[in-house]
A and B are shown apart, each in its own frame.
Chain A
Amino acid sequence: MLERLEEIAATEQLFAEEFAHTVNVCMAAGCMSSQSGLIKEAFDKEIERGGVERRCRVRGTGCMGLCAAGPLVTVDSQTPDEVLYQQVKVEDVPDIINALEGQPVKRLQCSIDIPFFKRQKKIVLENSGIIDPERIEEYIARDGYSALLRAITEMSPSDVIDEIVASGLRGRGGGGYPTGLKWTTVAKSDGEVKYVICNADEGDPGAFMDRSVLESDPHRILEGMAIAGYAIGASQGYVYVRGEYPLAVARLKTAIRQARRSNMLGSGIGGTPFNFHVDIRLGAGAFVCGEETALIASIEGKRGQPRPRPPYPAEYGLWGCPTLINNVETLASVAPIVRNGGEWYAQYGTATSKGTKVFALAGGIRNTGLIEVPMGTSLRDIIYDIGGGISAMGECKAIQTGGPSGGCIPAAYLDTLVDYESLAALGSIMGSGGMIVMDESTSMVDVARYFMEFCMTESCGRCVPCRVGTVHMYNILDKFSRHEGTQDDLVLLEKLCDMVRNTSLCGLGQTAPNPVLSTLRYFRSEYMDCMIPEPDGAEIINETLEVAQ
């Protein structure tokens, strides 16, 4: 079976070499929204018109990372360095085609020697922006599915788990639970039927890591899920994708179809007795369905509400069966780990957090987009070096990580090396990887209010503290943002934060106060500035009293 993969890879290689030039147009959601679809059509037409079909081909690829400069186009002329064009418009297409044989179009060219590209270490995103996500052959040509075949033919399930444990991989959804340990517990649970679930219900405002991976390299998820299925003894997997990601769903569907046809999913994978099927389930717009027990309820067709844990899904999950739930990015790291070994992966990162992490840079930063860096990279490097600094005038004020469950890290802590523990120590969390950079014009009270509004409207309503507590906290923050706060409000706010954090049923409620607590911790003075000033009346009364005496 491995030979067949090599054959496909070799054919693909030959096919690619037939063309002197390959034009890659980014077809991920970011560039698509700035008309990269039309640009690709224009390239097709232009090439046909110029009669260079035999020498040049156009491909749609996944996300190239530098979303701020989209639509992005690369030209690979079989030379060591690609040419990257930024902010390409339909009118620019003839120029680019004409420049194929000569010098690149200078006015559109974006240097690939900038830190944004140089400082990254791509493991999860190794194929993003390089392969056409709608063709399984291109994935196979880049060692795709070799890890799965190796796992099911040469390794025992416990060998696979050992590699994951050795890699030190931790859950990339935000919690940071050791993935190897999770796999071990599910593998050990009793049960004839087990399930693997890929949690692609990415909902944090400003986060788009999972979407990009699904759109740019969907086969990687399927391979990771199949390996997980083999390791824990499951033959059915579900990908729970939020309904707001139509492109990701379409590409995933295509990928599942292709993988089935190539015998990489389905019954008797690669000629072995191992069966693994994957189905897609769509979310209907509830943030809380990213919480694992709510997600399971949603797949079961019930109202998407969490239930108290324990029992954990590893023991009692989908339809009462042991269930492994991993985030997209976690599963995307599995194939490279199995392919290269756990120790290879563990060489990246810090002592407690191994490997690399994908971050979605958003907010007031120059290079908004998707990056992947080793754990332990400092925030300063991420923001100023890779991110290119602050886009507006002024300095960085704070960085919001972890979405509505996270907190704001003030600029004073920019030299923090990013890992699970260091961010937690600062009162924030790693989260799924959203990183919103805020400049000096941002009001921290407004930030807290925004996230509280988010939690308030996304609370499922099952438990009292989260359902009602978030409303009261939002109302108080709203008062502050209107500069009508009082000392009593502040006391009540802190009381509610403590109560909601400690008594809520699920992670949504337990972490909902985090944006408030972290802004109170570092930017308390801004709250003070939003209070009603001491009434002038106090002095007047004193004066009148003096006069009366």
Chain B
Amino acid sequence: MKRPFKTRIKTLKIDGIDVGAREDETLLELAQENDIFIPTLCHLEGVHDIGGCRLCLVEVKGTNKLLPACMTYAEEGMEVTTNSERLQMYRRQVLDLLFSERNHVCSVCVSNGHCELQWLAGKLGISHVGVPYLYPQLSVDASHRFYIYDPNRCILCTRCVRVCDEIEGAHTWDVMGRGTDCLIISDLNQPWGTSDTCTRCGKCVQVCPTGALFHKTKAVAEMEKRRDFLPYLRTMREGRK
């Protein structure tokens, strides 16, 4: 027998609050709907999720695994905890690792004061980084006419890769290498300015959570990102929702 309804509605508890959800809603969407704060760096509304930053991990009663809120769908009777001591500790550790991985020097960064990484660190109460810095040597790509790519500030969230592929449809960006040697590259690892596929639309620059991608004209603390256009573009592209 076929189900008589298209989308099921589920009821569940997030941090003790009863919420109603469609079965195709993720825990992150539900939390945002209900004004519950879950930190995230790789999630971007309008493009698909990868569950990579591990900041949105939540506890769900009945499983001892931590689940990424951005990729976990609502289920009947779920009891979700989004902000336990343990989760906070892990989140701070994730940020610690991110800060130590590349050369994040806020004082000279174009995004100082408008950076999601910096903002989250403040919000989660990071006073110092608990692991040694790795100080990799990475060169800046300023070959593009309008923009600069500085891998020293990149956190490999791959928002730029996804937005370029899924919304602009150019797929200029992708990831090269493995582990901490991963690098965002344009086309076949060539200077961004020589890329044949880049349309100079700048969406990657706007969605970048840090100062890794920025406008050439901006100086320290001047780069503010705008990304309210994204869901709209996605709707236009797919013609639904």
Q: Given A468-B97, A468-B100, A503-B90, are A463 and B179 also a contact pair (CB < 8 Å)?
A: no
> Please, what's the 1-or-0 string for B37-76, where 1 marks a CB less than 8 Å from any CB in chain A?
0000000000000111110010000000011100100000
Q: Establish whether residues B66 and A503, one from each chain, have CB atoms under 8 Å apart when the complex forms.
A: yes
Distance in Å: Cβ of A214 to nearest Cβ of chain B: 26
Q: Which of A80-88, A123-131, A394-402, A453-461 contacts B (4 or more CB under 8 A)?
A: A453-461
B175 adjacent to chain A (CB < 8 Å):
yes
A residues contacting the other copy or chain, number (CB 8 A): 29
A303 adjacent to chain B (CB < 8 Å):
yes
Question: Which of A467, A468, A472: most chain B CB closer than 10 A?
Answer: A468
In the bound assembly, the distance between CA atoms of A462 and B41 in angstroms comes to 13
Q: Establish whether residues B178 and A308, one from each chain, have CB atoms under 8 Å apart when the complex forms.
A: no
Which residue of the partner chain A has the closest CB to B134? A471
Q: Establish whether residues B57 and A467, one from each chain, have CB atoms under 8 Å apart when the complex forms.
A: no
In the bound assembly, the distance between CA atoms of A484 and B174 in angstroms comes to 39
In the bound assembly, the distance between CA atoms of A286 and B182 in angstroms comes to 14
Q: Establish whether residues A307 and B51, one from each chain, have CB atoms under 8 Å apart when the complex forms.
A: yes
Q: Establish whether residues B51 and A505, one from each chain, have CB atoms under 8 Å apart when the complex forms.
A: yes
A416 adjacent to chain B (CB < 8 Å):
no
> Please, what's the 1-or-0 string for A439-461, where 1 marks a CB less than 8 Å from any CB in chain B?
00000000000000000111111
Q: Given A463-B51, A495-B93, A502-B66, are A286 and B98 also a contact pair (CB < 8 Å)?
A: no
A464 adjacent to chain B (CB < 8 Å):
yes
> Please, what's the 1-or-0 string for B77-103, where 1 marks a CB less than 8 Å from any CB in chain A?
000000000000010011001101100
Kindly list chain B residues whose C-beta atoms are within 8 Å of the C-beta of A462. 50, 52
Q: Establish whether residues A505 and B54, one from each chain, have CB atoms under 8 Å apart when the complex forms.
A: yes
In the bound assembly, the distance between CA atoms of A465 and B97 in angstroms comes to 7
In the bound assembly, the distance between CA atoms of A116 and B98 in angstroms comes to 51
A504 adjacent to chain B (CB < 8 Å):
yes
Q: Which A471-485 residues have C-beta < 8 A from chain B? A: 471-472, 475
Q: Establish whether residues B54 and A467, one from each chain, have CB atoms under 8 Å apart when the complex forms.
A: no
Secondary structure dominating the interface of B: mixed
Q: Establish whether residues B100 and A472, one from each chain, have CB atoms under 8 Å apart when the complex forms.
A: yes
Q: Establish whether residues A471 and B90, one from each chain, have CB atoms under 8 Å apart when the complex forms.
A: no
B156 adjacent to chain A (CB < 8 Å):
yes
Q: Establish whether residues A307 and B97, one from each chain, have CB atoms under 8 Å apart when the complex forms.
A: no
Kindly list chain B residues whose C-beta atoms are within 8 Å of the C-beta of A463. 51-54
Distance in Å: Cβ of B185 to nearest Cβ of chain A: 12
Distance in Å: Cβ of B92 to nearest Cβ of chain A: 10
Find B97's partner among A456, A460, A469 (CB 8 Å cutoff): A469
Q: Given A308-B71, A464-B94, A499-B90, are A459 and B179 also a contact pair (CB < 8 Å)?
A: yes
Distance in Å: Cβ of A418 to nearest Cβ of chain B: 26
In the bound assembly, the distance between CA atoms of A475 and B101 in angstroms comes to 13
A333 adjacent to chain B (CB < 8 Å):
no
Find A505's partner among B52, B156, B174 (CB 8 Å cutoff): B52
Which residue of the partner chain A has the closest CB to B89? A499
Q: Establish whether residues A492 and B131, one from each chain, have CB atoms under 8 Å apart when the complex forms.
A: yes
Q: Establish whether residues B180 and A467, one from each chain, have CB atoms under 8 Å apart when the complex forms.
A: yes
Find B93's partner among A458, A467, A471, A499 (CB 8 Å cutoff): A499
Q: Given A308-B71, A499-B90, are A470 and B52 also a contact pair (CB < 8 Å)?
A: no
B177 adjacent to chain A (CB < 8 Å):
yes
The 5 closest A-B pairs by CB, nearest first: A461-B182, A468-B97, A459-B179, A308-B51, A468-B101
Sampled A-B contacts (6; CB under 8 Å):
A303-B175, A456-B179, A460-B179, A463-B52, A465-B93, A472-B131
Q: Which residues of B contact A (CB under 8 A)?
A: 50-54, 57, 66-68, 71, 90, 93-94, 97-98, 100-101, 130-132, 134, 155-156, 174-175, 177-182
